[in-house]
Amino acid sequence: GAEMVSAGARALGTGSYAPLAAALLLIFVLGFFLDWLEIVVIALPVLATALVAAGAGGQLGNAQLAGCWIGALFAIALQTSFLTPPFGYALFLVHGATRGEVPMADVWRGAMPYVVLQLLALLAVAALPELATSLPAQLLDLSIPKGPKFSD
């Protein structure tokens, strides 16, 4: 299965954003129907590994940072899918908190600005991977070596 996904990612083009966009779209659609646990445990490892193998995040110079960036993108896409119809698990929680006094259509309309903001955040993290990788690179020392950390 992992080899087939890797071959599919490579067929979409190495070094381009097409495999990453396809994987994010798949995660987004899976979030409509599945709980987050199944997606994170089953889809995320297979897709992230295939994307890194296909060259996604190659500009970061490190496979661990590429995986971190892809994981952040997946998390944003998954959270966004929980705020959109047809199911919108988070929206049902809001509807339940109002004890049914607010119609579901109003809850969906009220969530749309947040969906737009999350999609903008997704685009920002996709365009500027440093938003998701700068802190892990510093804390875990995963960045490209830049010389000694301490000078005498």
Pairwise CA distance, residues 99 & 39, whole Å:
29
The sign of the CA dihedral 53, 1, 21, 136 is negative
Q: Is the bond into 86 cis (omega within 30 degrees of 0)?
A: yes
Pairwise CA distance, residues 83 & 71, whole Å:
19
At 136, which amino acid appears?
Answer: P
Q: Could you tell me if 84 and 48 are in contact, meaning their C-beta atoms sit under 8 angstroms apart?
A: no
Angle ∠(52,36,101) on CA atoms, nearest 5: 140
At 25, which amino acid appears?
Answer: L
Nearest C-alpha neighbor of 27 from the set 15, 13, 39, 42: 39
Pairwise CA distance, residues 31 & 119, whole Å:
15
The sign of the CA dihedral 117, 65, 3, 13 is positive
Tens digit of pLDDT at every position of the chain (152 positions): 767 777 777 777 656 688 888 889 989 888 888 888 888 898 888 888 888 877 788 788 788 888 889 999 999 999 888 888 777 778 888 888 989 899 988 988 988 999 999 999 999 999 999 999 888 888 876 555 555 554 54
Pairwise CA distance, residues 137 & 152, whole Å:
23
